[in-house]
Amino acid sequence: MRKLFTAVRRSPARRAVYTAALALVLCIAGFGAFLRYVLSGLPSTNGLEEYTPSLTTRVYDANGKSIADFSIQRRALIPLSRIPVDLQNAVIATEDNDFFGHYGISPKGMLRSLFNDLLHRRAAQGASTVTQQLARQIFLTPEKKVIRKIREIIIAFQIERRFSKEEILQMYLNQIYFGESAHGAGEAARVYFGKDVSQLTLPESALLAGLIQLPGKYSPFRNAPLAKWRRSIVLLRMQEEGYISKAEREAANNEPLPAVKPLYAATQAPYFAEYVRQYLEGKYGVNMLYQGGLKVHTTLDLDAQRAAERIMEKNLQAIDADVAKEADKTAGNGEFDADASTRALRMQGAFLMLDIKTGAIKVLIGGRDYKETQFNRAIQANRQPGSTFKPFVWMTALQNGYTPATLVDDVPMAYYYDGRDWRLFEGATDQYSIRLATQPFVGSKDFKIWVPNNFDYKTLGKITLRRGLELSRNLVSVSLVDKLGPTLVVETARRAGIRKKLDPVPSLGLGTSAVPLIEMVNAFATFANGGIRVEPFAVSRVEDQQGRVLEEHVPGETEAFAPNYSFVLTNMMRGVVERGTGARARSLNRPIAGKTGTSQDHRDMWFIGSTPDVTAGAWMGYDDVSITIESRDWTGGSTVVPWWTEIMGELLRDQPARQFPVPEGVSFVLIDSVSGKLALPTCPAKNKFLEAFVKGTEPKTFCDIDHDRGQ
């Protein structure tokens, strides 16, 4: 009985032990489950050695000047050796003054944080070390939860175990956000001060360190007084930690803050930058472009680009003012002008300059305001080139037995379309005979009539091929296309560099097939380059973030035309500037081979000109192709040539004037410019002209005109 009674008395104690043991087991199991849950969401730090943050792709001009940045986050990867000690000290003093003494966490700081959180009854006070902040930035979310904080501490310990303090600080300074889309100290230095991080001063370093806590609140561009106060706090902490003296602190406090973002922060040459961006995205993909930290070296001359943009805009503003003035004048006369509001639209323009030897794009302007419209008129717009197309006709003629002295017809003509082809009315070479020939077909649905005309509605009869180009005679061009065949002219344009579809019709020589400016400029560059065609390009070299070259452009050359034929055509095109429709470009006082152009109803006005080194083309017109210009004073020669000349005068100011090199197979002969034959001593001096010929095609007979009698 006693034994049984004792067992009964002891049973409650045993139950307590069992209960405690069970509770302990449950606690251990719960803690294990909790620990497993914490660890299960813990990312590995094994790849941190190879970790590369999302970096900014930078685009530079030919002289190393910044043009544009492409990125998801603006960031540059900078070694610690290039980051000023002042910035390192400022960050440590402000964010983690015991950085070099702890093992990833600061117990003192955590207790202080806990006290403040309890005091405010919310998670108001952070106590993260630099290492914890790095762990959170790379591996975790910024939300304030207990689980996230525990994981942050564990990762911080792992980082401290695997890396030196210097490596941790370098990763931190390349990762942390400084506001204004700038991630990392390198990008912050560029965004706030427009300089390389290695050039930062003490006050600049203190300002950046102060931004880390609340970048938007302490930005000098948003709240200068608050930014200055925050900088003073950082400088005070640096003095308290012994990094700077009191005198240094006071001097730094007196330095002004940056008032506006540096110029670099805005994209330069936006149409060119977008052209480059599309190329890079197509070749390297979106991820590499926006996160790969590429260094893209381009062909652009940024100084030349800015000058060209300024001059073009000034001139187009003046043209807009003239158009508005004419509209007001018409309204003032009491006449209703239905198009007055339309004419008040802004005139658009485009300009492109290539290096003729390499095809490098030196200047590219796709329009007046990229923010208003991103349509690139130098690349994307297909517009009628008008008479600017004529050199392709003249080159075809040279290659098929014509010479600059060949006499061609500048006479009236008419064509009819029989349903299959355009045909010339034979024998209809004056206005009376043309009216007789076309009268039966007027109003016919089966036959279309086309009667081309010169710009001045006059004809000159027999003139030399050279004179026909210099004066841009439409009837000469149409006659040549008819005799040579439009298909041959299309082939010549293709070989020169035109890629767009061209309609092989008699009007082809008048530039009725629309083409982009870049192709026209490239084709003209082929002529100026002795018949050697090179493809236009914008990117000269691409490097990855380690400086390894991913691509480097090597110009490819194609011999499109023989050098002697190209020189003869170029020499004829020089006459367009010296005596013809492009005479306003003569003020450059250097050899220029060019051609003006005006499309139907003055919708498009062009000028493309070459020196022995560069070819530049300019276009102006309205984006709305339905708008026509009634004034006959508006031509490529009167509107575009002046501002093309002003731009080129600025860009070529320091370049010596050079002659186009004369290749083998060219001879110079003194001819009579009226008869096209060898000049005699009796020929008037004004008619004598030293003409260039493909050797073997020179005139063999002497002038037979009696100049005294005009016969």
Sign of CA dihedral 234, 235, 239, 242: positive
Cβ–Cβ under 8 Å, residues 485 and 361? no
- Extract the tokens encoding 2: 């006693």
Q: How far apart are CA 684 and CA 682, in angstroms?
A: 6
The phi and psi torsions of 702 (rounded to 5 degrees) equal -90, 160
Cβ–Cβ under 8 Å, residues 707 and 682? yes
Burial-class residue 73 by CB neighbours within 10 Å (0-12, 13-18, 19+): middle
- Extract the tokens encoding 229: 């106060």
Q: How far apart are CA 72 and CA 77, in angstroms?
A: 15
Q: What is the DSSP letter of 659?
A: P
Long-range contact pairs involving 209-215 (C-beta distance under 8 Å, separation at least 24): 209/87, 209/90, 209/91, 209/93, 209/94, 209/95, 209/234, 210/90, 210/94, 210/234, 211/178, 211/179, 212/91, 212/94, 212/95, 212/176, 212/177, 212/178, 213/94, 213/95, 215/177, 215/178, 215/179, 215/180
Burial-class residue 227 by CB neighbours within 10 Å (0-12, 13-18, 19+): buried
Q: How far apart are CA 348 and CA 621, in angstroms?
A: 5
Neighbours of 6 (CB within 10 A): 10
The phi and psi torsions of 365 (rounded to 5 degrees) equal -120, 115
Q: How far apart are CA 528 and CA 615, in angstroms?
A: 8
Q: How far apart are CA 592 and CA 314, in angstroms?
A: 24
Amino acid identity at 608: I
Please tell me the number of Cα atoms within 13 Å of 177 on its side-chain side. 15
- Catalytically annotated residues: 95, 387
Cα dist. 705→406, 669, 678, 685 in Å? Answer: 15, 18, 11, 14
Return the SS3 of 221.
coil
Cβ–Cβ under 8 Å, residues 53 and 75? yes
Q: How far apart are CA 368 and CA 358, in angstroms?
A: 27
